[in-house]
A and B are shown apart, each in its own frame.
Chain A
């Protein structure tokens, strides 16, 4: 198989980071997408020195209970809204001292779309030397599953028992509008895509934003085993566009969806959070189409870039 072994067999090889970023024994839920992300981050980070800045969110719990370290890198846990500010300080000091340390913010959607939004936006506007990774599980997972502005319409959460009415924020457009050097959404289900973007973002200077759709079996009421499949379905259906934006101008679509309703229906049906609101693929399709029309214009390509593998 031409794509085997996966990632060219680099995982746990000499080019991988010697030790994990998320250690065995961590307390993340089984099948947590953020865990998957941290495994990929390990591979991308390799031998680069990194520091993590994590606001109050599930990843803060991944750090483990004092004094044990669930995360295999120096980490500071911040207040909910402060990740990008604290990272600013840490990154500035690293820069002042001529250190190559890459400071990575690892924040959820609540800490990015909502309470930490101003902080993140300001750090982006100042073009701080931060890699900001938003693992978006579309929910306040750490508090037990309340809606955030990243929760998609139609999803039942503990604070929207009848299903959320409002649309999810388009965070990529917002971050691109900051004209930061690099903003990208990545697909955890496409390990090569994830690795490439993480590596690229780690190597750039200035504010880099990565949006990661991160399955939450607990909040999405889905099978833990199916996390990656859900991401794949979100990508295939066009619901989750996988793209890169360079300097807020050049848009590049990385994975061309099939726009299949079958994938969309499957995506919805595998998550019980959508099941009581009667949400159907046809309800989502018009918005997806509008969004993609816009993305096509921005990317300057009316013709699909590359067919995603089936």
Chain B
């Protein structure tokens, strides 16, 4: 295995650095950063880089970190930040603003449980909280994938058909702090991969205001335009994958990662690293002769509805894992996906909430539970079965 030994946080920062440098002949790069566990390493790494025509501003809050990114992007520069958990919650208002202003800011989120009570470990609830606000969301499962996705997120977000901010997620510690070999392309390759950032609405010298008040009919139209831009991101992402393969000679993981799903009658559906665990469990089950597959959802926004529905078609039992809970409802992923399935049993399993380690045994239990069900039930915690 070739590549540099890097934590996922560092990989994200390195991807951002290469992207930043790639815009040196454009309007440059500017980023606002603020530390929070488990994302801190990412900003630390970024702060240690020399970036030609770039500036990393060490601000006083996540809110301002995104504020700087908004200002930079509004001025036409490439922009990036990283945060987690309560930091993301604190940043949320400006995440909305970045989306509302159609600014292609890229951010890396090390998913962490929201507190208090304080908990620094992994939970997807922080990013899912921003699900509806106009940020592209892609969840990653390993270091290489994270690096590749962060790098690609710039191309995706900055595509003129998209122009929406993008969030690339990694589970806190589980991925953010895991060190593994990561293949890093040359700057020259990155330069070819990423066109210069272009924000058409950027501030120039023309009297023109970004973000001014709108009437209901205008906002309605704009919301629909933003929705179309988000939907376009699904197609554009496929194009980006093509460019990625052409330039780097590797494959960028797609919006969905199906694993042995074609002939499966049972599916385990998940976000992030749990998807890799699920693949291991699928292999074991296959050894037992069970027709089990795994579907890892990478892209939650835009949600590749048709592709997911195709994957779900003909399956009889679907387990949807959630490392999060929408209180008073259940798993968010389940809420998103259940309607796309025709299967008689679509069961929600809450796994690893608050950062608990989700082991193959948990998923084995999930499969056993699933097998015993004749119909879907209310969400259950994997520790309780």
Query: Which A residues have a C-beta under 8 Å from some C-beta of B?
Result: 19, 49, 51, 53, 60-61, 63-67, 69-79, 81-82, 84-97, 118-119, 121-122, 125-126
Contact = CB atoms under 8 A, between A and B. Distances in A.
Contacts of A92: 30, 55, 57, 68, 71-72, 77
B200 to A, nearest CB: 13
Contacts, number: 170
Given A92-B72, A93-B76, A96-B28, A82 B64 contact: yes
B211 A88 contact: no
Main secondary structure of the interface of A (DSSP, over half): mixed
B27 A119 contact: no
Given A49-B205, A88-B57, A77 B210 contact: yes
Given A82-B94, A89-B67, A96 B55 contact: yes
B24 to A, nearest CB: 9
Nearest to A80: B93
A223 to B, nearest CB: 28
Given A77-B209, A82-B94, A93-B77, A88 B32 contact: yes
Contacts of A75: 203, 207-210, 212
6 contacts: A63-B212, A77-B212, A78-B71, A86-B68, A92-B57, A119-B60
Nearest to A85: B67
B206 interface: yes
A132 to B, nearest CB: 13
Contacts of A95: 55
B212 A66 contact: yes
B74 interface: yes
List of 9 A-B pairs having minimum Cβ-Cβ separation, nearest first:
A89-B71, A85-B67, A122-B60, A89-B72, A85-B64, A77-B211, A93-B75, A82-B67, A86-B71
A64 B64 contact: no
A82 B29 CA distance: 19
A76 B101 CA distance: 9
Contacts of A72: 207
B61 interface: yes
B67 A78 contact: yes
A94 B69 CA distance: 14
Given A74-B204, A97-B27, A82 B70 contact: yes
A118 B63 CA distance: 10
Contacts of A96: 27-30, 53-55, 77
Main secondary structure of the interface of B (DSSP, over half): mixed
A293 B57 CA distance: 39
B59 interface: yes
A279 B77 CA distance: 52
Given A51-B75, A78-B71, 19 more contacts: A69-B208, A76-B74, A81-B64, A81-B67, A82-B67, A84-B67, A85-B63, A85-B66, A89-B68, A89-B69, A89-B70, A90-B74, A92-B30, A94-B75, A95-B55, A96-B29, A97-B28, A97-B53, A119-B60
Contacts of A70: 209
Contacts of A19: 207
A95 B27 CA distance: 10
Interface stretch (B1-9, B126-134, B213-221): B213-221
A107 B79 CA distance: 24
B73 interface: yes
A81 B28 CA distance: 25
Interface in B29-74: 29-30, 32, 53-55, 57-61, 63-74
Nearest to A81: B63
B203 A74 contact: yes
B308 interface: no
A121 B60 CA distance: 9
Contact of B212 (A65, A73, A74): A65
Contacts of B64: 81-82, 84-85, 88, 118-119, 122
A90 B215 contact: no
B231 interface: no
Contacts of A66: 212-215, 218
Contacts of B69: 89
Contacts of A118: 60-61, 64
Given A65-B214, A89-B67, A118-B60, A71 B75 contact: no
A292 to B, nearest CB: 33
Contacts of B59: 85, 88, 119, 122, 126
Given A64-B212, A89-B57, A121-B60, A69 B72 contact: no
Nearest to A55: B67
Interface string B176-206: 0000000000000000000000000001111
A51 B213 CA distance: 18
Nearest to B206: A74
B60 A74 contact: no
B102 to A, nearest CB: 12
B65 to A, nearest CB: 8
Contacts of B207: 19, 69, 71-75
B89 to A, nearest CB: 14
A176 to B, nearest CB: 19
B380 interface: no
Contacts of B203: 51, 74-76, 90
A93 B28 contact: yes
B214 A86 contact: no
Contacts of B206: 74
Contact of B67 (A51, A65, A88, A121): A88
B97 interface: yes
Nearest to B28: A96
Contact of B215 (A49, A65, A87): A65
A178 B215 CA distance: 41
